Amino acid sequence: MENHHASEMDGVVAEYLNMCIESKHNDLCKKEKDSKDSADADRLCNIEKAYSTVLSELGEDVDREGLLRTPLRAAKAMQFLTKGYKETTQDILNDAIFDENHDEMVIVKDIDLFSLCEHHLVPFFGKAHIAYLPNKKVVGLSKLARIVEIYSRRLQVQERLTKQIASAISEALEPAGVAVVIEAVHMCMVMRGVQKMNASTVTSVMLGSFHDDPKTRKEFLALTMRK
Amino acid sequence: MEHSKQTQYSSNEKKDTGDGGSVLNGHFDGMVKRPAGGTVRASAPQPLGAECGSHRSAASVMESWREERTRSVEDNEMSLPSLAAAYTTILRGLGEDPQRQGLLKTPWRAATAMQFFTKGYQEKIIDVLNDAIFDEDHDEMVIVKDIDMFSMCEHHLVPIFGRVHIGYLPNKRVLGLSKLARIVEIYSRRLQVQERLTKQIAVAITEALQPTGVGVVIEATHMCMVMRGVQKMNSKTVTSTMLGVFREDPKTRDEFLTLIRS
């Protein structure tokens, strides 16, 4: 059923792209092609045309001043918000792992996090708290925040995001334990649907000694969840 | 220029574009600075339809009451497939796989969500207010504050959210309190610019009640500034519109601003 919809959609996409304000967009897209990698430019162009369709289908006037460059801005914004797809942990971590004889808990908390709900394409945002117990190797502190950035700037589900961050740290450092807690507000619940303004979602992943030893976990939670 | 702006509807030609004045998503040319004054308009105002109520004189015809809905529930259903197709294109363009389990129905969900975020286009002030205006001999300030507001930035299609504080000085007529919040909903559930949103709310209340004065303050966070671009987490944008005695009398304005802070 879903696949039928998908192939129908493909046909409709082709049709609508032809019906859109083609010439205007072709001019704009051409300029981009000259200066960028052409595959990237093609993709941007397609997203831009899709947003133009979205605007007109919502009943807006795409020629009014405020909306003239909105398809391009929205396309670029969306690309920024999903830039995590192009980044890997290897790129950012490789040179910031240090040998250090430290085996006490290291916590970086209140890392602001912004992601996109993969179900509604609407933002969710909050804070991430990360802790690890080093096993002879420590990592530059900002790299923990960068790992959060890589995985959060994607179409995500909060549970998966938490797990991906924990796994990435685990693989890179092989520590004695990793804990990640994310507390976020989902606009898809606040702005639409059930419309609960104050609800927030908390997910956590505990690996290694954080999982096995309740005292370690308790220490982490006491240090991070303190208001 | 004015006439080209009237083509604000999608393929559905059957809708009446209404009068000759350009009411563009509630955004009109020329600023209304006084409550009951007429707007400066090149074309003469059309006679009111029956729906606007016979108690309004032609001289005080106001723009927001003549706004036509640019969309209907049927339009929504008809646009859904093409909106979903557009979202599938977007997903592919971003490098995602629209066939994976989590994304299979996302185009439809995102399309419906976007229609919900712009449902203000389906609604008219008159539908919401018609029977909740009451004659009351009250001429002290009425304030409804901390109204949660959610809108969409028209430049980046990213959410804006915050709070709206509304105050007015009635002139023999008061409005059902929730109707102030409903006016906020109609105008905020659109592709907006915060300045315009503030003004539209103030003007709509002015036109509905002809009060002695209206004040609207909006304090909002723009995700386009927080999630991308300059990425300033704690920044807030505050806009205000003061009409009538709120504009002219500093003491009234002070009272309003003090009461909304407390």
> How far is it, in rounded angstroms, from Cα A184 to Cα A115?
10
- Number of cross-chain residue pairs from A and B with Cβ atoms under 8 Å apart: 185
- Assembly ipTM: 0.79
pTM value? 0.77
Q: Is A120 helix (H, G, I), strand (E, B) or coil?
A: coil
pLDDT at A91: 86
Closest CA relative to residue A165, chosen from A154, A150, A185, A186: A150
Task: Please indicate whether residue A117 is annotated as part of the active site.
Answer: yes
Q: Is A205 on the interface with B (CB under 8 A)?
A: no
Interface probe for A, chosen from B72, B106, B156 (most Cβ of A below 10 Å), is: B156
Q: Which residues of B touch A79 (CB under 8 A)?
A: 94
Using DSSP bridges, classify how beta strands A177-186 and A137-139 pair: parallel, antiparallel or unpaired: unpaired
Q: Is A77 on the interface with B (CB under 8 A)?
A: yes
* Average pLDDT across chain B, whole number: 79
Task: Please indicate whether residue B27 is annotated as part of the active site.
Answer: no
The reply to whether residue B121 touches residue A125, judged by beta carbons under 8 angstroms, is: no
> Mean pLDDT, to the nearest integer, of B163-184?
93
pLDDT at B60: 37
> Mean pLDDT, to the nearest integer, of B109-132?
89
Q: Which residues of B touch A55 (CB under 8 A)?
A: 191
Task: Please indicate whether residue A102 is annotated as part of the active site.
Answer: no
Lowest pLDDT segment from B57-71, B80-94, B120-134 = B57-71
How far does A6 lie from chain B, in Å, by closest CA?
Answer: 8
Structure confidence at residue B64 as a pLDDT band (50, 70, 90): low
Nearest residue on chain B to A86, judged by CA atoms?
B95
Residue tagged active-site, from B156, B210, B219, B255: B156
Interface probe for B, chosen from A13, A21, A25, A54 (most Cβ of B below 10 Å), is: A54
Which residue do the tokens 């009951």 mark? B36
How far does B242 lie from chain A, in Å, by closest CA?
Answer: 24
How far does B106 lie from chain A, in Å, by closest CA?
Answer: 5
Does residue B143 have a pLDDT over 70?
Answer: yes
Please count the residues of chain A.
Answer: 227
Residue scoring higher pLDDT (A225 or B89): B89
Count Cβ neighbours within 10 Å for each residue of B87-113 and write b for 16 or more, e otherwise: bbbbbbbbebebeeeebbebbbbbbbb
pLDDT at A7: 59
Chain centroid to Cα B29, Å, comes to 16
For the beta sheet containing B213-222, the strands, ordered from the edge strand earlier in sequence to the opposite edge, are B191-192, B142-153, B159-169, B213-222, B237-244
How far does B142 lie from chain A, in Å, by closest CA?
Answer: 25
Residue ranges of A 129-188 with Cβ closer than 8 A to chain B: 155, 157, 187-188
Question: pLDDT tens digits for chain A (227 residues)?
Answer: 555 555 566 666 655 555 555 545 554 555 554 555 788 888 999 999 999 999 999 988 889 999 999 999 999 999 999 999 999 998 888 788 899 898 899 999 999 999 999 999 999 999 999 999 999 899 999 999 999 999 999 999 999 999 999 999 999 999 999 999 999 999 999 999 899 989 999 999 999 999 999 999 999 999 998 76
Which residue do the tokens 């209140």 mark? A110
The beta strands (E) that lie in B97-139 are given as: 133-135
How far does A25 lie from chain B, in Å, by closest CA?
Answer: 15
Structure confidence at residue B124 as a pLDDT band (50, 70, 90): confident
Beta bridge partners of A204: A181
Q: Is there a contact between A77 and B228 (Cβ–Cβ < 8 Å)?
A: yes
Task: Please indicate whether residue B155 is annotated as part of the active site.
Answer: yes
Task: Please indicate whether residue A20 is annotated as part of the active site.
Answer: no
Residue ranges of A 27-46 with Cβ closer than 8 A to chain B: 43-44, 46
The reply to whether residue A74 touches residue B157, judged by beta carbons under 8 angstroms, is: yes
pLDDT at A35: 54
Task: Please indicate whether residue B153 is annotated as part of the active site.
Answer: yes
> Mean pLDDT, to the nearest integer, of B116-130?
88
Q: Which residues contact B183 (CB under 8 A, 6 or more apart)?
A: B125, B128, B129, B201, B204, B205
Does residue B36 have a pLDDT over 60?
Answer: no
Q: Is A117 on the interface with B (CB under 8 A)?
A: no
Q: Is there a contact between B210 and B187 (Cβ–Cβ < 8 Å)?
A: no
The reply to whether residue A120 touches residue B109, judged by beta carbons under 8 angstroms, is: yes
Residue tagged active-site, from A32, A102, A120, A211: A120
pLDDT at A92: 87
Q: Is A110 helix (H, G, I), strand (E, B) or coil?
A: strand
pLDDT at B48: 36
How far does B91 lie from chain A, in Å, by closest CA?
Answer: 8
Beta bridge partners of B152: B159, B191
Q: Which residues of A touch B8 (CB under 8 A)?
A: 59-61, 64
pLDDT at A40: 84
